């Protein structure tokens, strides 16, 4: 049986990075979108990434960022994977010669197969709920919008938490799950170590 990979996104504190690593996260996401409450600067991200051990993937999340800003992050940080949440084209995503994830804001009328065909170089597609702004809304979308047999690796996001992640895995069978607000305290960007543990336990239980 496939082991569902786990990404904890939007970390802003060293203790949260350490908690995610200790709990068994496969990937950790850092948000470089200045309008997000989870935004970190290159300097902050560098300090946080110093606590990420080998074999835990570091992911940089960008939204309609200037190429100069992305290149600056790539020059300064050990980012292993890029994640694009804005209106970036295939060419704009692929220009950095780094593996990337393409986020899809899911709602009725989105043809996921057609969308994926526009990004043949994407390593995976991260499905999130359509909300005002870009991501981090903590909303669950209608999982039935995902077509049966969707071929590219699928990362399920959007409103996941310890209470619904097992059902999500059983219904969608994603390659990975991504969580941010579902493991936070009342303050966006501040993670809860107990919630991280519960979320990862929920994933492992669903995997059997």
**Residues classed as catalytic:** 9, 128
Alpha-carbon distance of 147 to 124, in angstroms, equals 15
Q: Which residues contact 14 (CB under 8 A, 6 or more apart)?
A: 47, 48, 51
Alpha-carbon distance of 14 to 1, in angstroms, equals 33
Alpha-carbon distance of 193 to 185, in angstroms, equals 9
Burial of 98 (0-12, 13-18, 19+ CB in 10 A): middle
- Beta strands 27-31 and 57-62: pairing type? parallel
Cβ 57 vs Cβ 28: under 8 Å = yes
């Amino acid at each position: 049986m496939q082991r569902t990979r786990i990404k904890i996104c939007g970390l802003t504190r060293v203790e949260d990075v350490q908690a995610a690593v200790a709990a068994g996260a496969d990937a950790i996401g850092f948000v470089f979108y200045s309008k997000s409450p989870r935004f970190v600067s290159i300097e902050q991200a560098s300090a946080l990434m110093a606590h990420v051990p080998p074999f835990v993937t570091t992911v940089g999340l960008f939204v309609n960022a200037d190429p100069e800003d992305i290149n600056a992050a790539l020059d300064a940080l050990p980012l292993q994977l890029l994640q694009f949440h804005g209106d970036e084209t295939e060419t704009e995503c692929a220009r950095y010669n780094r593996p990337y994830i393409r986020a899809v804001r899911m709602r009725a009328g989105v043809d996921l197969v057609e969308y994926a065909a526009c990004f043949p170089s994407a390593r995976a597609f991260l499905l999130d709920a359509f909300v005002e702004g870009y991501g981090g809304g903590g909303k669950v979308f209608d999982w039935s919008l995902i077509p049966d047999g969707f071929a590219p690796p699928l990362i399920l996001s959007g409103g996941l938490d310890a209470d619904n992640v097992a059902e999500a895995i059983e219904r969608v069978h994603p390659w990975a799950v991504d969580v941010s607000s579902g493991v936070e305290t009342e303050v966006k960007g501040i993670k809860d170590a107990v919630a991280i543990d519960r979320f990862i336990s929920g994933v492992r239980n669903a995997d059997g």
